[in-house]
Amino acid sequence: MIVDCAIYRDGRRSEEPPRDFSDALDLCRLRDDAFVWIGLHEPTEDEFGKVTEEFGLHPLAVEDALKAHQRPKMEVYDDSLFVVLKPVAYEPKSDVVTAGEVMVFIGDSFVVTVRHGEETTLGAVRERLEGDPDMLRHGPTAVLYAVADSVVDHYLEVAEELSIDLEEVEAEVFSPTAGGSRNTASRIYAFKRQVLEFRRATGPLANPLVRLAQTGPTGTRVPFVRDDAQPFFRDVSDHLTRVNESVEGLDRLVSDVLSAHLAQTGVQQNDDMRKISAWAAMAALPTLLAGIYGMNFEHMPELTWVWSYPALLAIMAALELLLYRTFKHRGWL
């Protein structure tokens, strides 16, 4: 559905809503300081078809905007620039990272934003821009920058929350009581899956932001983006670099934590096997002696001796005590 549609002149929102997309676009193109911004949330094919027809959006970009589930990317077409961003949200209680999608079309005097999911609210971005006319005077480029900056800044918050939760997982793994819990391995693996989901949102976005910042080896200018916006996109790109470095560190660290947990589990299993073996050895010795003297043979030594029974019990107790002290000294018990 169409969430908002407005015309902006000289950095300020026009109080009169546009009657028609085509008329609004024609009106904005008559002035250098005006543009129209249409915001949509999970539009249907029919709803988006009207926007596509009026603004001349490329069919491939339209298909991506309708179907969603795209990687972060930037595509340049003859009449528009198409950028896909993936905002993320993290729920610390459930340790789940969820990703939405924001598609931004910018062209000659127009901006079209398409949002999928609830992970970001473009209304807050629009409200912030409307409160900063100096920024909004830069036209569609300012909208693209503000959306990208909002998404990447939230990446930093999510990365910080993931770091805090990973510290809790580390404390659980290296705890003397909970390190061998059955749920620990599944929690570590689930956490690694969330880091991977986060990485899918942040990693592919690096190249589009480098192109927007014109910091690549060729420095090729991106159409429909103002030249004076380069420092702003460079700042967003720097923030994203910090996020990606943090994500890579989280991924390596959670792998190390998983390896440490598996090593701890192996050591614990070895300790358990030693204890089982020690108790089995202690149980085997009296069983052996009792088995020998339990045989129904007529001619066996010490059968007629009065003290044979208590002597045999004393020998069993002495040998058990000897084995117990030996195993205890070696740390098997």
Give the pLDDT confidence score for residue 290 in this predicted structure: 74
Say yes or no to pLDDT of 191 above 80: yes
User: CB neighbours (10 Å) of residue 62?
Assistant: 19
pLDDT digits (tens, 9 = 90+) for 99-138: 889 999 998 888 999 999 876 678 888 889 989 999 998 9
What spatial distance separates the first Cα and last Cα of the chain, rounded to whole Å?
69
Gap between the Cα atoms of 250 and 153, Å rounded? 18
Look up the pTM and report it: 0.77
Give the pLDDT confidence score for residue 87 in this predicted structure: 92
- Cβ proximity of 84 and 103 under 8 Å: yes
pLDDT band at 150; cut points 50, 70, 90: very high
Give the pLDDT confidence score for residue 238 in this predicted structure: 94
Give the pLDDT confidence score for residue 176 in this predicted structure: 67
Gap between the Cα atoms of 236 and 250, Å rounded? 21
Phi, psi of 111 (to 5 degrees): -135, 135
pLDDT band at 300; cut points 50, 70, 90: low
More confident residue, 54 or 85: 85
pLDDT digits (tens, 9 = 90+) for 208-265: 999 888 755 556 778 888 888 889 999 999 999 999 999 999 888 888 888 877 777 7
Task: For residue 254, give both structure tokens.
Answer: 């959670």
